Amino acid sequence: MPDRNASKSVFASRKSVFCFFTMTSILFVLSWFFVIRSAARPNFIDNNLLSTSESISVIDRNVESSIGNRAVLVDNEKEETTRETQTTHEKDDDGVKCSSSNKLGLKVFMYDLPPEFHFGLLDWKPEGKSVWPNIRTKIPHYPGGLNLQHSIEYWLTLDLLASEFTQARKAPSVIRVHNSSEADIIFVPFFSSLCYNRYSKMNPHERKSINKVLQDKLVKYVTAQEEWKRSGGKDHLVLAHHPNSMLDARTKLWPATFLLSDFGRYPPNIANVEKDVIAPYRHVIRSYVNDNSTFDSRPILLYFQGAIYRKDGGFARQELFYLLKDEKDVHFSFGSVLKGGVSKATEGMRSSKFCLNIAGDTPSSNRLFDAIASHCVPVIISDDIELPYEDVLDYSQFCIFVRTSDALKENYLINFMRSIGRDEWTRMWNKLKEIENFFEFQYPSKEGDAVQMIWQAVARKVPAMRLKLNRSRRYTRSLPSTSKEEGIKSIPAPGNFW
C-alpha cells in the first residue's frame, strides 16, 4: 500500500510538474509574442506571423524555378490548361499551402473614382461616361523624368484595367471584379505621387494646393463608400509611393494597406511592415541588355552619385565622402543623377563593380534600382531601409549590407570592398541578372515583373487582412445597431477558426 501511495503521489507530482511546465512554456511564448508585437518595427516578424507560404529563397535557384516558386500564389505559366483543371490539380498538390482562390489571382475591386484622381492628372480627358480610358484603343502617356520613379500607380491601374480582357490568356496575378463582395481587396486608384509631384505648389490666389484638395475629397469619397464602412478600410489598398504623398489623407486612411517606398516619414502606428507593402521605385537608368562586362572590365571599384543631404540620416553621405575621396578607383560625386545627366550615370554604374546606396533624407531611393538595372552590385548603407518582396527574396545574395556605424570607421568600407574577389562578385553579378526582371515596370505586364510581384506581395497580405477583419467583428453581435450588417453572417463556426 505505501508503495502504491508513493507511486500515486509521484505520479501526481509529475503531473503537476508537467502542468507547471506547460503553463510556463505557454506564458513564455505568449510573452514573446507580445514583446515582438510591441516592438516598433519588427522586421523579422513578418514571415512568421503573416506569410501564408514559407519564405522562399528565390535566389537559390534559377529564374525559371523561382517563377515556379512564386506559383505559391499564381499558377505556373507552363500549364496552359483551363483554369478549372488547374484548380483541382493544385488542390491535390499543395492545397494546404495556399487556397485555390489565390491561385487564380488576386481579386480586386476598384473604385470608379472621377478621372481627376487618376488619368486626369496625366491630362487624359474622358470620352462619354466612362471614368476609365479604353486602353484597348489608346493608353494615356506617362511623361518621362523624375516623376517616373513613383509611377507604380500608373502601371498597377493599367494592369487592373487590362486584366479584364487579358485574363483568358493565362493565369493572371490579378483580376478586376465588379462586385466588391467577391473581392480580396478594394483598390483606391488615386495617383497620389503624381498629384504630389505636379500639384503640391499653391497658386497665389488659392488657399489650398490641388494636392490637398484632392486628398480631402478622396477621404470624403472613400469613407462614405459601403465597402469602407463594411471593413473600416482594413481590406483597402491605398497608393502612397512618394514619401510626401498622401500627407493629409494618410492619417485618415491608415487602417488600409499602403503601397510605400519606405516607412521613413511614417509613424509606426500609421504604417508598418506588418500591414503595408513596400514597392520598388521605377529605375531611371536603362536596363543593361547584353551585359558582357566582367569583374576586370569594370574599372571603378565603388560608385556614388547623389545629392548632398542636409538632414536626418543623410549625414553619412558627407562623412563617407571624406573617407573615400582619396581612393583612385572610387567615384564619389554630389549632384542629382538627373541633373548630372542620365547617360553619364548610366556609363558610371555600368563601369563600376559596386554602387553605393546611402540613406538620404529617406531610407530608400531609386538609386538601388538603378544599380540593379546596371548590374552594379549594390552596397546598402541605410539601417532603416525596407526592401520590396523581402519575404520571398534574399537580398544578401546580390547586395552588400553595411551598418552605418561600421561604414564610418576609417578604412572599413574600402577594405571590405577590396576583400571581395572576382568569384564572389561574379556570383552576385549573375544573381542581379536573374532578379532584375522583378523590378521592371511595363505594360502589358509580364510574368515575374514588378507589377506582378507587387500584386503577389499584396496577395500575401490578404490572410492577415481577413484575420484583422474577422477579429474586429468579434463583438458586433452584441450591438443591436450593427447586427444587421452583412459581416455578421460570415462569422465562421468556432471549429473553423484558428
Q: What does the binding site for ligand NAG look like in residue numbers (CB under 6 A)?
A: 179, 181-182, 292-294, 297, 466, 469-470, 487, 490, 492
The least distance separating ligand NAG from the CB of residue 487, rounded to whole angstroms, comes to: 6
Q: Tell me whether residue 52 or residue 442 sits nearer to ligand NAG (CB atom).
A: 52
Residue identified by cell 493629409 is: 248
Q: Tell me whether residue 235 or residue 440 sits nearer to ligand NAG (CB atom).
A: 235
How far apart are the C-alpha atoms of 295 and 417, rounded to whole Å?
13
How far apart are the C-alpha atoms of 348 and 333, rounded to whole Å?
11
The least distance separating ligand NAG from the CB of residue 49, rounded to whole angstroms, comes to: 15
The least distance separating ligand NAG from the CB of residue 336, rounded to whole angstroms, comes to: 29
The least distance separating ligand NAG from the CB of residue 297, rounded to whole angstroms, comes to: 4
How far apart are the C-alpha atoms of 112 and 132, rounded to whole Å?
8
How far apart are the C-alpha atoms of 412 and 405, rounded to whole Å?
10
Q: Tell me whether residue 293 or residue 476 sits nearer to ligand NAG (CB atom).
A: 293
Q: Tell me whether residue 208 or residue 229 sits nearer to ligand NAG (CB atom).
A: 229
Residues contacting 449, CB < 8 A, separation 6+? 437, 438, 440, 441, 442
Q: Tell me whether residue 292 or residue 478 sits nearer to ligand NAG (CB atom).
A: 292
The least distance separating ligand NAG from the CB of residue 284, rounded to whole angstroms, comes to: 23
Residue 494 half-sphere exposure, CB side, CA atoms within 13 Å? 0
Peptide bond into 444 cis (omega under 30): yes
Q: Tell me whether residue 185 or residue 355 sits nearer to ligand NAG (CB atom).
A: 185
Question: Order of strands, edge to edge, in the sheet holding 106-110?
Answer: 174-177, 106-110, 185-188, 236-239, 257-260, 277-278
DSSP structure class, residue 374: T
Q: Tell me whether residue 482 or residue 490 sits nearer to ligand NAG (CB atom).
A: 490
The least distance separating ligand NAG from the CB of residue 260, rounded to whole angstroms, comes to: 23
The least distance separating ligand NAG from the CB of residue 461, rounded to whole angstroms, comes to: 13
Helices (H), 374-490: 404-407, 412-419, 422-435, 450-459, 462-472
